[in-house]
Chains A and B, each alone.
Chain A
Amino acid sequence: MKIDKFWLSVLVILIAGFAFTKLADNEFYFFTTYVVLQGLIMAVAWNILGGFTGYVNFGSAGFFAVGVYTTVALNKAFGLPLPVLLLAAGVICGLLGLAAGYLTLRLKGVYFAIATLATALVLETIVNNWKFVGGAAGTYVLQPKGSFIFDNYIELLFMLMLVLAVAATAISRYLSSSRIGQGLAAIRDDEVAAECMGVPTLRLKLISTTAMGALMGIAGAPFPFFVTFVDPVSAFALVIAVNAIAMPMIGGTAVWYGPVIGALLLGAIQETATVTISSELNLLIVGVMLVLFITLAPKGIVGLIQDYKKKKGANNG
């Protein structure tokens, strides 16, 4: 029986992650990895619509924040366990993605991008005025007592984020390599031509907005337990939206593993900069890297490596 390399790697990553929680006694790694993995899920989610389909979403922070506030609201109202909160955030943000997609996908290019930005602003205004979840004043969310089989709650959150990141990557890989992915690529290359060839463009675009929304919501769902105080400023933070775009652009948008590479690279640099130089440097790093990659390597790291290999192959041949 032949085992797919990808799934074998997934198994190894999950076992290694679990072993890490049992062997490492330095919480710092769990905290920083959590932030990197959160960025990874956001980047993978953004790429499903932005990379595969070619529709640029500037409203990522809005979907993330809806995931955050789904947890806040349901935790406050019913005290639901984290897995249920994750599921709820996924469903609600998936539906939000579907609705937003249905309403905005008639728009193209810059108009679609502006519409997504506006969606995030509308959502932020709603949260600002929703007193039950603390409104603009914010609210505290205490970590539940007990941490399953882990020594503390951050280990649980780390492991959960690892599982979610792997799952998000697997979904993205499936979407890119299946018929859906081919259809999305056709839309990205020429939507009118794709439509003429019988590609169900609206249905495929709605699938990608729904998947994007659901994954971003799931990325946001554990966030309240990570920070314990949530307000709209931190949930709708600019850096969330910027990273969600920058990571795939730097890694490469055309393939499923581009955002993963971009997220690991950019996330690691940002977290290192935070504790070595300055946190504020993070946005500068993102900006500079984004400018460099867009101008010098628009296909990202993956594109650079592919070009290098091609050149090497041509020289050898």
Chain B
Amino acid sequence: MIKKVMSPLRIIAILAMVAVVAFAVPAQSKNLKIGFSMALTGPLAGAGKAALIAMQIWKDDINKKGGLLGRKVDFVFYDDATSPSKVPGIYSKLLNVDKVDLVVSSYGTNEISPAMPIIMRKGLVFMSLFGLAVNDKFNYDRYFQIMPAGPIPKDDWSRGFFNLAMAQSPKPKSIALLAEDADFALSAVAGARRHAKRLGMKIVYDKTFPFGSPDVTSVMRAIKAANADLVYVGSYPGGSVGLVKAANELGLKAKMFGGGMVGLQFAGIQKNLGPMLNGIVNYDFWVPEPTLNFPGVKEFLKKYQAGAKGKGVDPFGHYLPPYAYAYLQVLGDAVTAVGSLDQKKIAAYIHKTTFTTVVGPVKFAKNGEWAKTRTLQVQFRDVKANNIGQFNKPGKRIVLYPSSVKSGSIKYPYKQ
């Protein structure tokens, strides 16, 4: 029967040839091309799309100033669908087929790491967007990460929470630790655990809960029963919303509650939770407080908020977008200062320079992380119900830490 039809080997050979020919080589242009993959679909698409809006604002701004090295800047980007296995192929296409001049990373640890071997092999400068301690393993001297976690990212993340707690009187003695079972949340809580042990706190509860659990009331009930002075949580948006609601319903009596809850930075979730947020101390990266009014940030956010309308992304863009703009600012400033695309010189310049960006002054440590942590600890205050606009103004997320950008003092304990 097989011999009567087209030979299977012939069909396979034709298909293999089609597969090879399918990837046509595009023509090279004179414009300076910056290539990247971005999570435009999949679980991180909301953040990825917001980052892309910010990056395109930078591109427009730089092109209005004449581009980089006298060349207009173009982006070449592909959607990695929040799938790490797509990233190596995308970067190899960017570098070998599209022949981009510079590359920057996608959003998030899982999407940054798979690009590293290719980037390292080519000796390229790699600005990365919100990767947690990616360079701990690679030790690549041309890697620079824009999230202000600090030189020891996993520990610096929660350092502010504990510094604040230990400055209170009487000092807290016990802590409950809770992590949602996935990458970032576990790392954040691991750091918190080390701080708790270093400070001699009694850990009265230390558990994880499954990623994406729809109901976390029972978890919060157990935490309440543990009666800890501090409750440090590492969680993702769904879990964070559930835990805040459960804490309110059950009347959690901890002195400080929060820490590493992802989602509480987004306007949609803030509106949803409303006054339930009051008193929570949580990490953040930028809030509209006067102490964080860096040059250009307001202009940037105005453009972002106009561009974000109807795109299904965070309408205010406080959390990620300024950093997506800033990591290109750093790269652009370095290229301009060096006057060429010499990757070694660009990396050396980034290492020695303090950059002025929309997220404030940025100086990198030897490992490519921020030289000093600026992971904010903010406290929600006077939040009213059903008012999204309030979160775009000062006074709702008071900066407690670090002291260099502090905008108010902590209300302690969490619930009176």
Contacts and interface: CB of A to CB of B under 8 A. Distances in A.
Answer yes or no: are A and B bound together in one complex.
Answer: yes
Interface of A: 5-6, 9, 25-33, 35-36, 128-129, 135-138, 140, 142-143, 152-154, 223, 226-229, 231, 233-234, 237, 239, 255, 257, 260-261, 264-265, 267-268, 271-272, 274-275, 278-280, 282, 301-302, 305-306, 309, 313
Contacts of B110: 138, 229, 231, 233-234
B210 to A, nearest CB: 8
Contacts of B217: none
A280 B42 contact: yes
Interface in B1-35: 1-2, 4-9, 11-12, 15-16, 18-20, 22-23
Contact of B12 (A261, A305, A309): A261
A267 B86 CA distance: 12
B186 interface: yes
B342 interface: no
Contacts of A29: 20, 23
B12 A264 contact: yes
Contacts, number: 167
A272 B23 contact: yes
- Interface pairs A-B: 3 shortest CB-CB: A280-B41, A279-B81, A229-B113
Interface in B96-131: 96-97, 109-110, 113-114, 116-118, 121
B137 interface: yes
A153, A234, A267, A313 pick with most chain B CB within 10 angstroms: A234
B85 interface: yes
Q: Interface on chain A toward B: helix, strand, loop, or mixed SS? A: helix
Contacts of A255: 2, 8
A28 B41 contact: no
Given A229-B84, A229-B113, 5 more contacts: A25-B96, A227-B114, A268-B15, A274-B90, A279-B81
B300 interface: no
B196 interface: no
Contacts of A231: 110, 182-183
B155 interface: no
Contact of A137 (B40, B116, B187): B187
A46 B183 CA distance: 30
9 contacts: A5-B7, A32-B23, A32-B89, A137-B187, A229-B114, A260-B8, A264-B19, A274-B86, A282-B81
A172 B305 CA distance: 56
A257 B11 contact: yes
B237 to A, nearest CB: 16
B343 interface: no
Nearest to A282: B81
B5 A31 contact: no
A274 B211 CA distance: 28
